[in-house]
Structure 1
Amino acid sequence: MVKEIQNNPDVSVKVKNRIQEFQILNKGDNETWFNELCFCLLTANSSAKKGIDIQNYLSKNSGFSTLSLEELTEALKRLGHRFYRRRAEFIVEARGHKKIKDIIKEFDELTEARRWLAENIKGLGYKESSHFLRNVGYHDLAILDRHVLRILNEYNLIEEVPKSLTPKKYLEIEKIVLEISKEMKVLPSEMDLYLWYSRTGKVLK
């Protein structure tokens, strides 16, 4: 399936362009990375499109970093986020780690950076932490969202779509995805975009 989509030149170009955007983000400063962290907090149990719209709006005046909890809550509500109160709380609490790029760069192992994120940033699990790291230019983690899990189940690569993912279960399924990526000679970050396109018809971040 991925190979078929890869052979579509329009989709392939969109995927390559998106990966290039991630590489540009990798060179950004702490504020740029924190902005992306907030985006990933917003997309959990929501949509990427909604997260992008909110991110674009709040980035204009550094709202993720400067708005009070009350102001941010009201902004997220006005912009249509379903979980506006909880997400505002997560973002304000995450400000304790605004030098997020410096923190991540201290880790020698990407998996350890992800574990730190999941354990220290409220609102991020392994999936959201993988999403963030992919978006700031790291390629070797799988983002196990519902689309990817359903595809794996349909191809009998996993017995069922788990109702929840413990870190142990996440790593077990991620191993399958990484092995497939290696066999297909596709970066895990690229493979996620192709799989997402197969379900949504879009190449979003």
Structure 2
Amino acid sequence: MIPPKEEIEKAISEVKKYVDQRIKEFKNLKSKNLTTFNFRPFLDIEPYQADIFSEACFCILTANSSAAMGIKIQKSIGIKGFKNLDLKDLYEKIREHGHRFAMQRAERIVKLREKENFLLDIAKEKDGKKAREKLVKEIYGYGYKEASHFLRNIGFDDVAIIDRHISRFLFEKGLVKPRKTITKKVYLECEEALEKIAKDFKLTQAELDLYIFYIKTKKVLK
């Protein structure tokens, strides 16, 4: 087994420019409520614009699915579509891409429209962990992972996204005891382990997440 230090160093040497680019795209969302995502060479998809609300919708779409599918749907629906399409049309747009939970996701996105101003206010927060608690309490269907994903994607550096790729990396490297279920306690334990790694490499949590995702998938997505 390759030690985590060697794998992360190798990932940094291979894709640092793409990780830096993605972080800049995220920071634009936080400061301007608008960014242009460019996922080439990892996905053959034209660059497209997103705002904070459409990014919250992306995080709904990618849960129990994949980042690649969420990206394709986000580009297809667009900023205005997430805010204005009726439930039926939104469902059809999501279903076209083969999403297993198209109607449930469409319903959640329509419901999320009530919280657009709340999401914009959250983007102004300074502390990602405090913002996460507010999101989990306020946004229907958002757990720690979805809330952390959204915050990272809108420019917060201090929360970790404990998805299957990240948890598997930690378990395989013996950094955290393997668990079948990611409870809140396990989530925070994993996040603490990642904080130590990030500190060792002088990386933010946001950067480290992208590097580990690349190690597991050979892609820098979001």
1:164 aligns with 2:168: no
Distance 1:105 1:203, change over 3 A: closer
Instruction: Give distance in 2, aligned partners of 1:4 and 1:193.
Output: 13
Deviation digits for residues 55-74 of structure 1 (CA, Å, limit 9, x no counterpart): 011116x1111111222112
Matches for 1:44-59 after TM superposition, within 5 Å: 44-59=63-78
Any residues of structure 2 matched to 1:180-195 within 5 Å, and which?
Answer: 180-195=197-212
Contact between 1:142 and 1:192, CA under 8 Å: does it hold in 2? Answer: yes
Cα distance in 1 between the residues matched to 2:11 and 2:205:
15
How far the C-alpha of 1:165 sits from its partner, in A, is 2.2
- How many corresponding residue pairs? 201
Stretches of structure 1 lacking an aligned partner (at least 5 in a row): none
TM-score of the aligned structures, taking structure 2 as reference length: 0.85
Partners of 1:108 and 1:102 lie apart in 2 by 13
Is residue 29–residue 101 contact of structure 1 (8 Å, CA) maintained in 2? no
**Equivalent runs, 1:34-183 vs 2, <5 Å:** 34-59=53-78, 62-105=80-123, 107-160=125-178, 162-183=179-200
The 1:29–1:16 alpha-carbon spacing in structure 2 relative to 1, beyond 3 Å, is closer
Match of residue 19, structure 1, among 16, 23, 40: 23
The Cα of 1:28 is off from its aligned counterpart by 2.8
CA-to-aligned-CA distance 1:159-184 (integer Å, 9 cap, x gap): 10x33322232112211111111122
Letter in 1 for 2:59: C
CA–CA separation in structure 1 for the residues paired with 2:152 and 2:123: 14
Contact 2:176-2:189 at 8 Å conserved across structures: no
